[in-house]
Structure 1
Amino acid sequence: MTDSTALDNIRIVLVNTSHPGNIGAVARAMKNMCLSRLYLVAPKKFPHDEALWRSANAEDVLEKAVVVETLGEAIADCQLVIGTSARERTVPWPLLDPRHCMGQALAEADAGCEVALVFGREDRGLTNEELQRCNLHVHIPANPEYSSLNLGMAVQVLTYELRMQLLAESLDGNAMQGWDQPPAGNEAMERYLVHLEETLKDLEFLRPEAPKKLMTRLRRLYQRTRLDEMEVNLLRGILTSTQQWVGKAKAQQEQKNAD
């Protein structure tokens, strides 16, 4: 796959951006580093003249921007979703620095995977629920005494690392290279995780008194594992059979009680 095609498989996703100027600054940062695919999740103001002005001749990126209402829509067909995180979480998640993270992103994009780099709101970043839809988290190790980065700067850091990885031709050693099945997309993984939660409730394994972070930890497990499409289908088949057997067992117990 050519270098340009690898970058064509990478999208920048901005969630609930408040200031249109920041969207323009992100478009400029992207074009500086040869990226062109911008997704906007429920932006407060777009299109807007300030976005155009701040883009500094990156109007083509803005013109092709895809506007959607939910994060799920923006990443539905992605096999690798990387969320930017500025703080530690109660349940730790795979957390990488920009250099190593962008190396993996570029390698998987080069192998044909759709990759999303997700950036949150200017004032509070991504929610825990949004971060749980990501396979990996990336943290920019800024000065701990002054760690505030604006949106354009954060995008510039990660896209710069992508560009440097590209120039270094560090595309070897991708764990998914030559795999017999494509990685499962984010939407397929989300359907599986919802199905898993429903099945665990049917089994009465997931009860109100169960640990609060149980599903979060299971989500982390599966997002870290990077299932392929066939593996997800196999696991969903197991869940469906499990639900059928549970249903039969409950019906038999009800009949026995009635007798």
Structure 2
Amino acid sequence: MGLAGVKIVLVEPAGPLNLGSIARVMKNFGCNDLVLVNPQCDRSSPEALKMAVHAKEILTSAVIEDTLIAALQGCVRVIATVGRDYGRDRPLENPRIALPWLLENPTEPTAIIFGREDRGLTNEELNYAHRLVYIPTNPDYPSLNLATAVSLCCYELSQSAATFSSKNLSTPEIAPVDVVETYYQELESLLLAIGYLYPHTAASRMQKFRHLYNRAHLQTTEVSMLRGLLRQVEWAISHQHHGNIQDG
């Protein structure tokens, strides 16, 4: 399958020239699944089509979504790209090391997320990624053009594609991002209800839970088990409360 199963997800792209260039480089490396999240430019503009050259079909067939979670629907492995100024507690990996992970099972939908040209991805958007990559550059001028960043990542992926195409891998079914996101929402609601989380600190505390679970690469059956555990806790709490009312 090569890179055919990898989604290239652009969050709020603003430059039509970049968009056309990205379509062209995607075709160069056999990648055709482009997703645009709330694009700020017209993919069918003359500038975009001119830069796409012989890859105009990638632009015209690109999927447009309003939100990043919608763009990642069904994806089980997600990597996000970040800039040099990223300052949180998650490790940044070299693309050559991290990106091959997207290809380990060619039957699984995967994605690589690229942020806005001027300010990248928000912390909330980065939470959807299992791993983060940073492209090493000259520290005197670290900023990369969006199309260049996509080109480098597509190249690195293409170098790894042959390694996995000949393998008959039998790996556990990793849960799609949107399925795990439903669990996160249910977990946050329960932890707020029992007082473990407080509204003003819930986002930062939930980030730590997300990082923990993302490192585990939860399987679909494991997410189902965890959601069942939450439902049982909610049932026990409601019945304990009901029993206390009756006792009183």
Q: 1:205 to 1:142 in 2, by over 3 A?
A: same
Q: Aligned partner of 1:162: which letter?
A: L
Q: Aligned partner of 2:122: which letter?
A: T
In the alignment, the residues of structure 1 paired with residue 111 and residue 76 of structure 2 have an alpha-carbon distance, to the nearest angstrom, of 8
Q: 1:146 to 1:104 in 2, by over 3 A?
A: same
Residue identity (%) = 36
Q: 1:242 to 1:135 in 2, by over 3 A?
A: same
Deviations 1:84-104 (A, max 9, x none): 111455542243211011211
1:16 and 2:21 equivalent?
no
Q: Aligned partner of 2:27: which letter?
A: K
* Correspondence for 1:152 among 147, 152, 158: 147
Provide the TM-score with structure 1 as the length reference. 0.88
Q: Which consecutive unaligned segments of at least 5 residues does structure 1 have?
A: none
* Correspondence for 1:74 among 47, 67, 71: 71
Partner of 1:31: 27
Q: Is the 8 A contact 2:103 2:161 kept in 1?
A: yes
In the alignment, the residues of structure 2 paired with residue 12 and residue 138 of structure 1 have an alpha-carbon distance, to the nearest angstrom, of 14
In the alignment, the residues of structure 2 paired with residue 191 and residue 211 of structure 1 have an alpha-carbon distance, to the nearest angstrom, of 16
Partner of 1:249: 240
RMSD of aligned Cα (Å)? 2.1
Q: CA deviation at 1:170?
A: 5.3
Q: CA deviation at 1:45?
A: 1.8
Partner of 1:43: 39
In the alignment, the residues of structure 2 paired with residue 87 and residue 248 of structure 1 have an alpha-carbon distance, to the nearest angstrom, of 51
Partner of 1:138: 133
Q: Which consecutive unaligned segments of at least 5 residues does structure 2 have?
A: none
Q: Is the 8 A contact 1:96 1:138 kept in 2?
A: yes
Q: CA deviation at 1:173?
A: 9.1
Alignment of 1:79-94 (within 5 A): 79-87=76-84, 89-94=86-91
Alignment of 1:204-219 (within 5 A): 204-208=195-199, 213-219=204-210
| Number of positions where the alignment pairs a residue of Structure 1 with one of Structure 2 | 247
Q: CA deviation at 1:171?
A: 6.2
Q: 1:222 to 1:88 in 2, by over 3 A?
A: farther
> Which has the larger displacement, 209-218 or 238-247?
209-218
Partner SS state of residue 55, structure 1: helix
Partner of 1:123: 118
Q: CA deviation at 1:203?
A: 2.1
Q: Aligned partner of 1:34: which letter?
A: G
